[in-house]
Amino acid sequence: MSEMLHAQNVAKSFTLHTQGSVTIPVFQGVDFTLSGGECIALTGESGSGKSTFMRMLYANYTCSDGSIKVFHDGDWLDITTASPHSILEVRKRTMGYVSQFLRVIPRVPTLEIVAEPLVALGTVRETAMDKARDLLTRLRIPERLWQLSPLTFSGGEQQRVNIARGFIADYPIMLLDEPTASLDAQNRATVLALIEEAKGRGAAIAGIFHDHETRDAVCTGSFDVTSFKVGAND
């Protein structure tokens, strides 16, 4: 399958100005590619920078060095140098991200929150709503909750709303940050099925997965962030 994302010689360090300007190096020299139809697990112990790397792929964090090119609208775009407008376009049409946190305006109904990315793409509202209903049903969010804000939901329910929102638009690239972390066996199986379906339609997926079972079930490969830790090869 064709390459969709290509990170080259990526480095990240944090400078904490409020704490004596101490600089914390995370990793350097990371080369990473992601192609359509694959699901790569980002691995490494806690604190190795998996989440940091994923946030950089989404341009949520800046890069200290290197480039991250994304195949967007038939062309390669380096998101480390792209304008905010371009990055927002990439996120709207090319790259989806399922984070561990749900950040929404209070009062907006769950159904709207889930349908929103599809509506933003120009899909007819009712079609987007139908797809949202379908996903919420599959993820076992009871229908009586659909008109309520998810901010009142349990952690597991919020997680599933996040997943529904992340999977509603068929993004060519998907980033998943522990999508099954707080789910029971049934819901985990549903998420695995969603990931398989995304792979099946040719999406390029990178994910951080809590448990081996999930990783073994859906991943086509893994990428260990630890080996790029600053000083790892000295």
Partner 1 sequence: MTQISNPLLRVDNLTMMYGDRVGCKDVSFELRPGEVLGIVGESGSGKSTLLRSISAQQEPTKGTVQYNTRIDGVCDVYQMSEAQRRLLMRTDWAFVHQNPRDGLRMNVSAGANIGERLMAIGDRHYGNIRSNADAWLGKVEIASERLDDLPSTFSGGMQQRLQIARNLVTSPRLVFMDEPTGGLDVSVQARLLDLLRGLVHDLNLAVIIVTHDLAVARLLSHRLMVMQQGKVIEHGLTDQVLDDPQHPYTQLLVSSILQN
User: Using CB under 8 A, which of the segments 17-25, 131-139, 176-184, 190-198 binds partner 1?
Assistant: 17-25
| Segment near partner 1 (CB under 8 A); pick from 16-24, 36-44, 138-146, 169-177 | 16-24
Binding track over 50-79 against partner 1, x by CB under 8 A: -----x---xxxx----------x------
Options 1, 16, 24, 124; binder of partner 1; rule CB under 8 A: 16
Region from 34-42, 101-109, 138-146, 218-226 binding partner 1, contact rule CB under 8 A: 101-109
Task: Using alpha carbons, list the distances in angstroms from residue 23 to 35, 46, 151.
Answer: 33, 19, 36
Tokens of 134: 């379908």
Contacts of partner 1 in 103-142 (CB under 8 A): 103, 105-108
Q: Is 145 in the site for partner 1 (CB under 8 A)?
A: no
DSSP, collapsed to helix, strand or coil, labels residue 5 as strand
Phi, psi dihedrals of residue 113, rounded to the nearest 5°: -65, -40
Tokens found for residue 130: 């139908």
Give whichever of 11 and 108 is closer to partner 1, judged by the CB atom.
108
The answer to whether the CB of 195 falls within 8 A of the CB of 217 is: no
| Residue ranges in 178-197 that form contacts with partner 1 under rule CB under 8 A | none
**Interaction between residue 22 and partner 1 (CB under 8 A):** no
CA 226/CA 47 separation, integer angstroms: 9
Number of residues that bind partner 1 (CB under 8 A): 22
Rounded distance between C-alpha atoms, residue 72 and residue 59, angstroms: 14
The Cα 2–Cα 57 span in angstroms is 18
Q: Of 40 and 150, which has the nearer Cβ to partner 1?
A: 150
What's the CA gap between 190 and 141, in Å, rounded?
A: 12
Query: For partner 1, which is the closer residue by CB, 17 or 144?
Result: 17
Helix residue spans in the chain (DSSP H): 50-57, 84-93, 110-120, 125-138, 155-167, 185-200, 212-218
Asked whether position 144 contacts partner 1 by CB under 8 A, the answer is no
Shortest Å distance, C-beta 88 to partner 1: 6
Q: Which residues bind partner 1 (CB under 8 A)?
A: 14-18, 21, 55, 59-62, 73, 84-85, 87-89, 103, 105-108
